[in-house]
């Protein structure tokens, strides 16, 4: 089963809590309570993979107070339940997919999507409701879900592997791979990517078993890991663009390559080493474009920034979770400050 973890509400005016929004539906809420279930109204934004999910699991997006009680709701529904509408998000360069299976797509095998998911008075039977107006638990639910999700950003390490492989390939195709600064940039990309790998392994390995038997990640390390995710992929992408050269954004289309009129010029002027097929060079450039500027940059870059919470959300968690008293004691003991001082 594939599930969409649906936490993010549209949120309207960010300075106001749910019950003070000028439109009460800007956070998903309970609008009716029946003997057999509840009726909900609202939306969840940016939902990754929603259209290819079997189930959609709704959770509140922020901690709430008594006045927001109607918004403290969590439930799961089959994704094709009556009253749910999916409005697909656009992605940079998305219409290239409509041009046929050309190398201009960049990634010829896979893609992803996000959607605005609208709940227009949708009925949820009681057996599928996990939280009903228990507002005092919404903050805990958000923190725990976010921590698991922040650990799951191992996925960006996999994308990083692909981008590093693409950068090395284009450097070889271009005849630049032996230059010392190129080698050093590839090392830097690997060091950043493996640091991310360390983070996701660490917060899982340092987790603990809960009384229920499930395992919970180390929340401090999960937040540190996600904070690194908001930064390192951008640096890895910058280095990949440096190594790729400008052609990744000025390259003519596959149609031009195949054109009887100008194809010969594209072939002549974009060749590099004799043994490198031009088509291979153009394909790898398109992949780097796809990962750093195109449809896949949605997941590799902007989702790294905002997914599972924007950077500030992790900083708040880090400041709450570090044991500052213990750190101060260590420092003060070493320099001879005693408790009475």
Ligand X SMILES: Cc1cc2nc3c(=O)[nH]c(=O)nc-3n(C[C@H](O)[C@H](O)[C@H](O)COP(=O)(O)OP(=O)(O)OC[C@H]3O[C@@H](n4cnc5c(N)ncnc54)[C@H](O)[C@@H]3O)c2cc1C
- Residues near ligand X (CB under 6 A) are 5-8, 11, 14-15, 44, 46-48, 114, 298-299, 302-303, 306-310, 312
Q: Which is nearer to ligand X, 160 or 283 (CB)?
A: 160
CB 23 to ligand X: min, Å: 16
CB 196 to ligand X: min, Å: 17
* Sign for the pseudo-dihedral over CA of 281, 284, 286, 292: negative
Residue 333 contacts residue 126 (beta carbons within 8 Å): no
CB 153 to ligand X: min, Å: 12
Residue 282 contacts residue 323 (beta carbons within 8 Å): no
CB 3 to ligand X: min, Å: 10
**Segments in the chain forming alpha helices (H):** 138-151, 155-174, 180-205, 219-229, 232-244, 247-250, 254-258, 263-269, 278-292, 297, 303-306, 311-321, 324-334
Q: Which is nearer to ligand X, 24 or 263 (CB)?
A: 24
Q: Which is nearer to ligand X, 207 or 299 (CB)?
A: 299
CB 178 to ligand X: min, Å: 37
The residues pairing with 293 across neighbouring beta strands, listed in sequence order, are: none
For residue 32, which of 129, 169, 112 has the smallest C-alpha distance?
129
Q: What are 221's two structure tokens?
A: 């390390």
Write the DSSP assignment of 88-142 as a string of letters.
EPP-TTGGGGGG-S-GGGS-SS----EEEEEEEEEEEEGGGEEEES-GGGHHHHH
Q: Which is nearer to ligand X, 34 or 315 (CB)?
A: 315
CA distance 238 to 48: 25
CA distance 172 to 275: 11
266 SS3 class: helix
Q: Which is nearer to ligand X, 48 or 169 (CB)?
A: 48
Q: Which is nearer to ligand X, 11 or 183 (CB)?
A: 11
Q: Which is nearer to ligand X, 160 or 299 (CB)?
A: 299
CB 10 to ligand X: min, Å: 8
CB 324 to ligand X: min, Å: 23
């Amino acid at each position: 089963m594939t599930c969409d973890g649906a936490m993010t509400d549209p949120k309207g005016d960010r300075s106001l809590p749910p019950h003070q929004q000028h439109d009460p539906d800007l956070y998903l809420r309970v609008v009716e309570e029946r003997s057999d279930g509840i009726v909900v109204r609202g939306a969840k934004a940016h939902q990754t993979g929603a259209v290819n999910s079997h189930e959609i699991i709704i959770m509140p997006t922020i901690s709430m107070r008594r006045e927001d009680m109607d918004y403290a709701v969590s439930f799961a529904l089959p994704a094709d339940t009556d009253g749910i509408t999916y409005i697909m998000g656009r992605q940079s360069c998305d219409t290239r997919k409509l041009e046929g299976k050309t190398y201009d797509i960049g990634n010829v095998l896979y893609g992803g999507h996000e959607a605005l998911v609208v709940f227009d008075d949708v009925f949820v039977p009681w057996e599928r409701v996990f939280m009903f107006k228990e507002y005092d638990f919404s903050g805990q639910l958000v923190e725990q879900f976010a921590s698991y999700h922040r650990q799951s950003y191992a996925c960006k390490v996999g994308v990083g592997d692909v981008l590093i492989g693409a950068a090395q390939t284009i450097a070889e195709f271009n005849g630049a791979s032996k230059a010392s600064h190129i080698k050093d940039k590839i090392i830097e990309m690997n060091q950043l990517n493996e640091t991310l790998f360390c983070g996701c392994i660490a917060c899982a390995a340092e987790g603990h078993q809960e009384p229920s038997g499930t395992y919970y990640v180390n929340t401090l390390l999960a937040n540190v890991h996600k904070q690194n995710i908001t930064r390192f992929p951008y640096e890895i992408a910058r280095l990949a663009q440096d190594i790729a050269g400008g052609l990744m954004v000025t390259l003519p289309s596959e149609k031009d390559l195949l054109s009887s009129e100008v194809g010969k010029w594209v072939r002549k002027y974009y060749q590099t080493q004799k043994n490198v097929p031009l088509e291979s060079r153009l394909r790898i450039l398109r992949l780097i474009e796809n990962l750093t500027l195109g449809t896949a940059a949605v997941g590799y870059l902007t989702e790294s920034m905002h997914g599972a919470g924007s950077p500030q959300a992790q900083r708040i968690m880090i400041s709450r979770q570090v044991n500052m008293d213990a750190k101060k004691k260590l420092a003060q003991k070493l320099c001879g400050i005693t408790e009475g001082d």
